[in-house]
Chains A and B, each alone.
Chain A
Amino acid sequence: MTGISRSAQAWRRGAAVLAAGALATAGLTACSSSSTSGGASSTSTAGANDMAAALQKKSTLTVWAWAPQDKDIAAAFEKKYPNVTVNLVNAGTSTTEYTKLQNAIKAGSGVPDVAQIEYYALPQFALAGSIQSLDGYGLDSLKSDYPAAVWDAIDINGSLDATPQDTGPMALFYNEKVFKQYGLTVPTTWDEYVADGVKLHAANSSEYITADSGDPGFTTSMIWQAGGKPFTATGSTSVTINTQDAGTKKYTAEWDQLEEKGLLSQIAPWSSAWFTALGNGDIASLVTGAWMPANLEGSAAAASGDWRVAPMPTYDGGSPASAESGGSSDAVMKGSSNALVAAAFVQFMGTDAGEQILADSGGFPAENSILNSSAFLDQAPAYFGGQKINQVLSQAASSVLPGWSYMPFQVYANSIYPDSVGKAYANKTDIYAAVSTWFKASAAYGQQQGFTVTVQ
């Protein structure tokens, strides 16, 4: 009796092992088949030829992207390569898309061939091995076509992981009418900017120099512009997070003067109240990315003719310095059954044809040839009183400080920002202490995720 039940147990165990084995092999074959379609060709040097051949075959690409210009870019691509059908899906903007992407990767199905990923989120996907490297497709020669900081952001640990789409070199957008009315000088240093903020709010308590209720992207960009480098990744598994970073201290000490004295409007960005305040002058300036003009024109039309663009203030008033805020790249996802065509598509998006469409419809391109073209530089939009704003913004693109890197788990880090830095903004307390807390909490997450994290 016991013999029978024991043998039955053994049989069951055996079946379970077999089933598990079958699953595992299925998984393995799935992996290997996907890697042969993309991986094998990625090591070959004849990538460009393979790409050209693949584009002549009938195929369908699934692309997740949210930029408004992508529809036209996809149409142009289909026109050039009639055998390729691009299935463009708006899977949400930014973190909404990343959550869906992570879930699809986790589930192992439904991952698109190409996904739009912002520069700050790219390392997270790249280091997790979710992105198909573009090495060997003949794209490395494009390096000199982009500003150095842009290339730094897509070339992670010596592997090209995406092509640039739009960028956001930062500049100072200010309402000239308000500045004149209250006798404010257009600042060249942050001290002058702070002084303007004090003067403006003292003169009219409903006016603020800018709105900032705590935003992780803004905080990291401002640290970047102050010359900070709090995060350094060595290899793909170890990160150093420096809470003593000089740039972090420089920026927070400056910004604290506005934050702790309540000189920053607490209107949430991108809300309708925010656009109203930008339109009626209650928010007198914004330090933000070069993609802002189209948003101002579209949603703060009341202030048409009033806004101007100036280079970002610096700490010493010396040589210009800027940082990137936002901006996206397009990556080929690992497991794409059509990696060659996908690579061709991201190349199309990030180079001449795609970038030109982007620039023509209000996006801020990454490519030097467009940034320096006279057609681009000579635009003088009436919204900005005829100022040739692209000259300022192009200049900003070339003065972005090199050598910055994000945490390889920046997306999660940004999601816990409200717990520490957000609280400091709400309570008007020291930003530096809160940023340190934020860095440490992010480091703890990194450690949980298996990274070797050194906190300094």
Chain B
Amino acid sequence: MTVLSPGTGLEAGSAGPRRERRRGRVRTRWTGWGFLAPFLLVFLFALVAPIVYAVYLSLFQDKLIGGNRFAGLANYTEAFKDPQFWSGFERMALFLVVQVPVMLVLALGVAFAIDSARLHWAPLYRLSIFLPYAVPSVVGALMWGFLYGTQFGLLGQLDRWFHTTLPDPLGNTLILPAIGNIVTWEYVGYNMLIFYSALRVIPNEIYEAAELDNAGAWRIIWHIKLPSLRPAMLVATVFSVIGSFQLFTEPAVIFPIAKDQIGSAYTPNWYAYNLSFNGQEYNYSATIAIVMGVLTVIVAYLVQRIGRRGQEA
């Protein structure tokens, strides 16, 4: 009877401290969450929720005729055999293999030059090379679009002044290098800054030791600067790889003046954009975005692994 009755003193007495302890534990648990909450809320709403929603979308097909229905992995199997998507992916892979090394070597050269302390007005160079990164990429692409224009732009004017026919940078063969040039212009400064700041933290003692050993400037670059730049180079490479696969702004801005060359699937992101905003294929577009995201993660991971392995050896 006493066991069943909730109001007996015995039960209350024995349960009291336990309950107290439990409540305390609960409170500490929630205090922790309280501190995490601001980050967690942003993380959930800005990162997790869109990804979950995109994955959810990618499992459906919403048709003009027939409406919305669950499609399982049908969108994914379609993406894997979609020539439009893969041609865009290949184009970006080619872009990456050519543009990223060119950009990083340039950035490296500039960083060495500025770090060498042989330049007058070094901060001026640093700032002016970094400046394009501060220009919004839409404005940058518009500006280059104007410079490239054979009818209305700088190139067209040069042609008219000198009665020449310069090759059209927005033509079939040159448009990819032309876009690469815009991207390089925009990001050389950014990468230069990464390299430069990495160079600044090399301890002076090492340079002094090198000087005592009679090492020349090239030797110092080869044996001191380059090895200590390795982590910075890895970071810059991973950023650039991700940036290349995500290429969107430049083709999107140039599209109106080079419709035929860009088309609707020039880069995977541009393709996903057109699918959802011109074709109302939100589901397939989400699929493309997810596949592209996973591929980017894989490539970035591989680059990092290869870079690390080199470091350990």
Contacts and interface: CB of A to CB of B under 8 A. Distances in A.
A422 B280 contact: no
A195 interface: no
A232 interface: no
A127 B65 CA distance: 8
A272 B152 contact: yes
B291 to A, nearest CB: 17
A95 interface: yes
B262 A418 contact: yes
A354 interface: no
A234 to B, nearest CB: 13
B263 A268 contact: no
Contacts of A268: 151, 256-257, 259
B278 A426 contact: no
B193 interface: no
Interface in A407-437: 408-409, 411-412, 415-416, 418-419, 422-423, 425-427
A268 B156 CA distance: 14
A359 B54 CA distance: 49
A267 B150 CA distance: 10
Nearest to A237: B65
Contacts of A102: 280
Interface in B273-313: 274, 277-282, 284
B151 A128 contact: no
Contacts of B171: 426
B277 A427 contact: no
A415 B261 contact: no
Contacts of A273: 151-152
A271 B64 contact: no
Contacts of A267: 151
A134 to B, nearest CB: 21
A450 B279 contact: no
B184 interface: no
A422 B65 contact: no
Nearest to B255: A418
A423 B87 CA distance: 15
Contact of B65 (A214, A271, A449): A449
A109 interface: no
B264 interface: yes
Contacts of B264: 415-416, 418-419
A127 B64 contact: yes
Given A415-B274, A423-B263, A106 B280 contact: yes
Task: Give chain B's interface residue range (CB within 8 Å of chain A).
Answer: 20 to 34
B260 A409 contact: no
Contact of B260 (A99, A106, A411, A425): A425
Interface in A4-41: none
B279 A419 contact: no
A196 B95 CA distance: 44
A415 B64 contact: no
B66 interface: yes
B64 A450 contact: yes
B172 interface: yes
Contacts of A425: 260
A451 interface: yes
Given A409-B64, A415-B274, A213 B260 contact: yes
A425 B284 CA distance: 29
Interface in B164-195: 171-172
Contacts of A127: 64-65
Report whether over half of chain A's contact residues are helix, strand or loop; otherwise say mixed: helix
Contact of B261 (A128, A272, A426): A426
B260 A214 contact: yes
A376 interface: no
B64 A419 contact: no
Contacts of B278: 95, 99, 411-412, 415-416
B95 to A, nearest CB: 19
B280 A418 contact: no
A237 B265 CA distance: 27
Nearest to A98: B278
B67 to A, nearest CB: 8
Nearest to B63: A450
A448 B63 contact: yes
Contacts of B152: 271-273
A218 interface: no
B254 to A, nearest CB: 12
A103 B280 CA distance: 8
Nearest to A214: B260
Nearest to B277: A99
Contacts of B279: 412, 415, 445
Contacts of B151: 266-268, 271, 273
A275 to B, nearest CB: 11
A418 B261 CA distance: 8
B65 A418 contact: no
Contact of A419 (B172, B257, B263, B282): B263
Contacts of A266: 151
A236 B65 CA distance: 9
Interface of A: 95, 99, 102-103, 106, 124, 127-128, 213-214, 236-237, 266-268, 271-273, 408-409, 411-412, 415-416, 418-419, 422-423, 425-427, 445, 448-451
* The 9 nearest A-B residue pairs measured at CB: A422-B260, A450-B65, A450-B63, A450-B66, A415-B278, A449-B64, A426-B260, A419-B263, A418-B259
Given A412-B280, A427-B172, 14 more contacts: A106-B282, A213-B260, A214-B260, A268-B259, A273-B151, A415-B264, A415-B279, A416-B263, A422-B259, A422-B263, A426-B172, A426-B260, A450-B63, A451-B64
